[in-house]
Every structure is written in C-alpha cells, then in structure tokens.
Amino acid sequence: MGASRWRKFPTSAPKYISGSSIWIGTGSSRRTNGRCTSPPWRPKTGCWLCGRGDRTSGLVWKYQRAVPQLPTVLLYQNVLYMLSDAGVLTTLDPTTGAMHRQARLRGVADRYFSSPVAGDGKVFITSQTGIVTVLKAGSGQEVLAANELDDECYATPAIADGRIYIRTRSALYCFGKRD
C-alpha cells in the first residue's frame, strides 16, 4: 500500500472557491469546534482557511472560534465572512487570517443553516426563522435592515440579474427593482 493521495472531507464542510483560492471551514459540534484541517490536495497557489502554498507547505493561518458547521464562508470585496450556526458573524482578512470583527448579528439571535450571499455592495444573511439581515459590505458588520418573511428558511438565497431569490419552507420570494 502506498501513501494516501486523497481523503474524503465531511460533505457538510463549508467550502468557498474564488479563482485559485479555496477556503474550508470544518466546524464540529464536539469540543473541537472550529478546528481547521489542511487538505493534502491543495493547489500550488492560493490561500486556504488553513494553509497556503505548494503541496508540502504547512499552515499559513487558521482560525478556531465560531467556525460554521453548515453555512459556507463568503469572500466579498476582500473580506472573508464566516457565520456560525449560532449567528456569530466573524469577518477576517482572507490573506492573513486577521480578525476584523466578531459579534452576534444585532437584533437577530437565531440559528443559521443557509450561507451568506452578496451583491450590490451588500451581504444578505437569512436565519432559520426567515429573518433576512442586510449588511453593508465591509469588515464593520453594519446592519442596514432586518426583514421578516414569517416562514422558516433553510436554503441559501440565490442572486441573479439584480434579484435575490429566497426559498422558505412554503414559498419562493423574488426581490429586486421592478422593470
């Protein structure tokens, strides 16, 4: 038997890919919550949540607090957004791993299963109870609005052609400017 050339990561491990960079958060409900692992198949260039460089390099940085189990990390306008299942939003520098800010979403204490999405200079975060929080893009986590949909939401919103589509338990919503 030779050396392992690959291994399977949990299918729920949040991943985000941009260009030649991949960020992976591997949160756990056990005491090891927030542990990051550096996959053996990383590309020759790129920045990982857990490492960077050629296939033999070590970790460049890791972050071990409030790492999500389900929501995928989001890179938007050079800020890495990481939302824990419990609603703790962490903004990080994607290159160095330095934390800009970490806080619960103001006025929206809830559980989160969907991933944050972004567009038009805003970040959209949808809670399990259907509250859509709109943040001004940037490391400061400035809340612009919080809108209630009165229905549970587990799906990640989709953004296309200037519109945001949000599927709740019983409806599909489309928000945007009317033509």
CATH number at residue 115: 2.40.128.630
Secondary structure (DSSP) of 14-37:
-EEEETTEEEE----SSTTTT---
Spatial distance between the Cα atoms of 122 and 135, rounded to a whole number of angstroms:
6
In a domain, 44, yes or no: yes
Q: Is residue 172 part of a domain?
A: yes
Give the C-alpha separation, 45 to 52, whole Å. Answer: 7
pLDDT the model gives residue 110: 85
3-class secondary-structure state, position 164: strand
Residue 62 lies in a domain: yes
Out of 65-79, 131-145, 161-175, least confident range: 65-79
In a domain, 3, yes or no: no
pLDDT at 40: 38
| Residue 8 covered by a domain | no
**Count of Cβ atoms closer than 10 Å to residue 27 Cβ:** 24
Most distant CA atoms of the chain, gap in Å: 62
pLDDT of 115 over the 50 cut: yes
Domain that holds residue 22: 15-176
5 found inside a domain: no
Residue 1's pLDDT is what?
55
Higher pLDDT pick, 163 / 53: 163
* pLDDT score recorded for residue 58: 44
Residue 139 is encoded by which pair of tokens? 């490391």
91 SS3 class: strand
Number of separate domains in the chain: 1
Residue 10 lies in a domain: no
Winning range, highest mean pLDDT, from 18-22, 93-97, 137-141: 137-141
Mean per-residue pLDDT for 21-45? 42
Gap between the Cα atoms of 2 and 5, Å rounded: 9
pLDDT at 150 over 50: yes
Query: In the prediction, which pLDDT does 105 show?
Result: 83
Average pLDDT rounded to a whole number, residues 127-138? 95
Q: Does residue 37 surpass a pLDDT of 50?
A: no
Is residue 30, in this structure, part of any structural domain at all?
yes
CA angle 122, 19, 8 (to 5 degrees): 105
Q: Which of 41-55, 67-81, 161-175 has the lowest mean pLDDT?
A: 41-55
- Do residues 136 and 122 touch, judged by C-beta distance below 8 A? yes
Report the helix count and the strand count for the chain, using DSSP H and E: 0, 13
Task: Give the confidence band of 21 by pLDDT, cuts at 50, 70, 90.
Answer: low
Give 57-100 pLDDT, tens digit per residue.
545 567 777 777 778 888 899 998 988 888 999 999 887 888 99
